[in-house]
Amino acid sequence: MALFEFDKAKDKERYLLGQVREVDTRKVSVLVDNDKDLRKARVNQLIAIAMADGTDTWLIGLIDKVIKSVVQLSTSLEPENDEDETEDEDTLPKEAVVNTVKLTLMGTARWNNLNQKPDFSRSLNHVPEIDAECYVLKDANLEAFMGILSSSTEKAHALDLGVFTLDEKATAFLDGNKLFQRHAALLGSTGSGKSWTVASVLERSAKLRSSNLVVFDLHGEYKNLSYARQLRIPGPDELKNEDDGVLYLPYWMLNTEELQSMFIDSTEFSAHNQVMAFQDIVVEEKKKTLSLLQKHDVLAAFTLDSPIPFDIKNVIAKITHLNEEMVQGARGLKQGAFYGQFSRLLLRLNSKLNDRRYGFMFQAPDTANDYDALAAFAEKLAGFTDTNSQIKIIDFSEVPSDILPVVIGLVARLLYQIQFWTNHEQRRPIALVCDEAHLYLPRGQMNPVEKRAVEAFEKIAKEGRKYGVALMIVSQRPSDVSETVLSQCNNVIALRLTNGDDQNTVKKMLPESLESLLEALPVMDVGEALVVGDSVLLPSRIKIHPPADKPLSATVDFWSRWQESVAAPDFIRIIENMRRQSRREP
C-alpha cells in the first residue's frame, strides 16, 4: 500500500509543485515551472519529496518562502564598430521570471516493513537528489500523512490535545511520557487560551488511574474543576481552621536560607552577626526537639537544614538576650559583644509573627508544629488512594506577594525532596504545574526571597527527571521567567504572543529551522498553539480541545456588560473583604 497517491495521471499535475534544484543539509530550494504551479504553494504548507531509491519513502518539508523573481539572462555586448552607437536589439539584456519555493526538511515518512504500517521519523538519513519531484500535501494525501502522525504515538502514551490546523479531521496526539519527562513550557499572551489549555491537560490527566499533578494556582482560576482536590493556603480570617482543604506551612519547614531571606537584610552592617547568631540558636532549638523526642538516629544525621519543629519564640527570646546583654568588665557592667546589633532583626521577626497575613506560617494550629506534620503534608500532596482525586490545586491567592516566591519554592522543594527520599520501587511520578511563573521565577536581578525560589526550581529543572518530578511552566511573559528554568523545557506549547521580547524568548528555545512557524505567533487564534519538542513528531499548529470544566479566567466582555442593568455593589462588604484580605463569606 502506497503512502501517497501522486502518480495517478489525473492527479499528478494537481499536486506536483516542481523539482529540487538546490540542497543544503536541511534546506531545499524547489524550481517551479510556472505561475500556476507556484500558486499551489503556501507558507507553512507541507511538501513531500520523492526518494529515487525505489522504496515508498518520502522526505517531508515545510515551506518557508515562496519567491517569484526576475533575473537577467545575458548582458549587453559592445558593438564591433566603435563609431556605431546604435545597439542591436539582440544585444540588450534579457529578463526571465524564476519561481522558487524554499523548504526546511522536517523528517522522513516511509512504509515500515517490520510492523506493516507507515511511520514518520524526524531523522534524515538522506537528502533529496537534484531534480527530485516535490508534491504539495493536501486533500486525501494530507489526511493520510496526518493519520500517520496521529497513529505514530503509542495509544498508552497518547495525550489527545486537539486537532491539527492543517487538517482538522486529524487528532493531534502528544506523547504524554515525553511531555512530562523533558519538562514543558506553556506560553502565551493574556487571553490567548493558557488556562484553557492547562485545564484541558488536567482534564485528560484526571482520567488516568493514578495521575499525580499539583497546580500552583495564584488567582483561584482552577477552583471550580470538579475532578480536582482543592487545597488552599489560609488567609488571615481563617487561622486555626483544621479543615482538610486548608494547607498550613509552618515556618520550621523552611530551610536556613529561606528563613534568612525572610528575616535578615543582607545589606545591614551587622548582617553577618545576625546570620551567625540566628543559625546557632535555630540549630540549638532543633536539637532540643530531637532530644526531647529521643530521636537519636535523626540527631546523629542532623544538618542545618533538617526540617525539625522548633519554637520561634524561644529563638526570639535568645536573640533578645544577646541584643540586650550586659557583661562584667574591669570597671563594672558593659555592653555585650552583640549589644544593639539585632534590633532590626528582632523588629522584623516580631512583625512577621504578629502579622495575620503570615498566619499560615506562624499562627498555625498546634498540630502544624507536630513532628509528624511534614509527613501529613506529604500525604496530602503526594499521597495516593483509589478514592482521592489525583489532581491537586493549591490556591495561593491569599499569600502576601512579598513572600509568595519563597512559599511556592518551599512547596516545590519539599515535593522534590519527598520524591528524592522515596524508594525507587515506591516512587510515583509527580508533575508541578507552575501557573503565572513570571511572578515567582523572575529573570535577572532578584531579591533574596525570589532567589531562593528560583534556586529550588532550577534544581528540579536540572535533576527532577531522574526522580520523577516534572515541571510545566505557564506564563504570559516568558521574557521575565528564569532563563535556566526555561532552557530545560524541551517541549514548548506557544499560544499567541504579541510582545517582541516574548517572541524572541520563544525563538531562542526552538531550532532556527522553525523560523517560518514562529512568525505566526502574533496572529494565531485564541486556543491555537504551536507545539514543538520531544512530545511531537512534527512541529505543528494545533487547535486545543476546549475543556469540559472551564477555568475562571474568561476575559470580561466590557462593552456587553456595560449594556446590562446591574445592582449597586455592597461597598461595605467590599471594604471589609479588603480589610480581612479575603473574598469568602465571614
CATH classification of the domain holding 188: 3.40.50.300
* 19 and 136 fall within a common domain: yes
Same domain, 299 and 383: no
243 & 309 share domain:
no
227 and 203 Cβ atoms separated by less than 8 Å: yes
Residue whose C-alpha cell reads 539584456 in the numeric block: 93
Residues 243 and 305 reside in one and the same domain = no
pLDDT value of position 417:
93
How high is the pLDDT of residue 59?
93
Residue 582's alpha-carbon distances to 18, 275, 357, 413, in angstroms, are 66, 35, 10, 27
pLDDT at 490: 93
Q: Are residues 404 and 539 in the same domain?
A: yes
Residues 283, 370 within the same domain: no
101 close to 41: Cβ distance less than 8 angstroms: yes
Residue 551 in domain: yes
Residues 109 and 141 grouped into a single domain: yes
Contact between residue 237 and residue 583 where contact means Cβ atoms under 8 Å apart? no
Whether residue 350 lies inside any domain: the answer is: no
Does a structural domain hold residue 559? yes
The one-letter amino acid code at 217 reads: D
Rounded Cα gap, residues 553 and 474, in angstroms: 14
E strands within 224-325?
A: 229-232
Q: Residue 559 and residue 557: Cα distance in Å, rounded? A: 6
- Output the tens digit of pLDDT for each of the chain's 586 residues: 578 878 765 677 888 999 999 998 889 999 999 989 999 998 889 999 988 777 788 999 999 899 998 777 665 545 555 555 555 555 556 777 889 999 999 999 988 777 778 888 888 888 899 999 999 998 888 888 888 887 777 777 889 999 988 888 888 889 999 999 999 999 999 889 999 999 999 999 999 988 999 999 999 999 989 999 999 998 887 777 778 889 999 999 999 999 999 899 888 888 899 999 999 999 999 999 999 999 988 888 888 889 999 999 999 999 999 999 988 888 888 888 899 999 999 999 999 998 888 989 988 776 656 888 889 888 888 877 655 568 999 999 989 999 999 999 999 999 999 999 998 888 899 999 999 999 999 998 898 999 999 999 999 999 999 999 999 999 999 999 999 999 999 999 999 999 999 999 998 888 766 777 788 888 889 999 999 999 988 888 999 999 999 898 766 778 888 888 888 888 888 888 777 767 666 6
Sorted by sequence, the CB contacts under 8 Å of residue 288 that are 6+ apart come out as: 310
Q: Which of 253, 212, 483, 207 is nearest to 368 (CA)?
A: 253
H helices present in 72-209, as ranges: 139-152, 176-181, 194-205
* Element housing 289 (H / E): helix 271-292
Domain identity same for 338 and 302: yes
Look at the chain and report how many structural domains it folds into.
Answer: 3
Q: What pLDDT sits at residue 10?
A: 66
Number of C-alpha atoms within 13 angstroms, CB side, residue 79? 9
Q: Are residues 428 and 508 in the same domain?
A: yes
User: What CATH code is carried by the domain that includes residue 103?
Assistant: 2.40.30.170
Write the CB contacts of 277 (distance below 8 Å, at least 6 apart in sequence). Answer: 319, 322, 338, 342
Residues contacting residue 337 through CB under 8 Å, at least 6 positions apart: 325, 327
- Displacement of CA 476 from its chain's centroid (Å): 10
Q: How far apart are CA 138 and CA 105, in angstroms?
A: 17
- How far is 158 from 31, CA to CA, in rounded Å? 39
Q: Confirm whether 159 is domain-assigned.
A: no
Q: Are residues 32 and 57 in the same domain?
A: yes
Give the model's pLDDT for residue 82: 53
The answer to whether 572 and 586 are in contact (CB under 8 A) is no
Residue 189 near residue 476, CB atoms below 8 Å: yes
Q: What is the CA radius of gyration of the chain?
A: 32
Measured in residues, the chain has a length of: 586
Q: How far apart are CA 340 and CA 50, in angstroms?
A: 82
pLDDT (0 to 100) of residue 76: 52
pLDDT computed for residue 368 by the predictor: 59
Q: What is the pLDDT of residue 578?
A: 77
The string of DSSP letters for 486-512 reads: HHT--EEEE-----HHHHHHHHHHS-G
Q: How far apart are CA 84 and CA 243, in angstroms?
A: 104
Q: Which domain holds residue 205?
A: 174-250+364-580
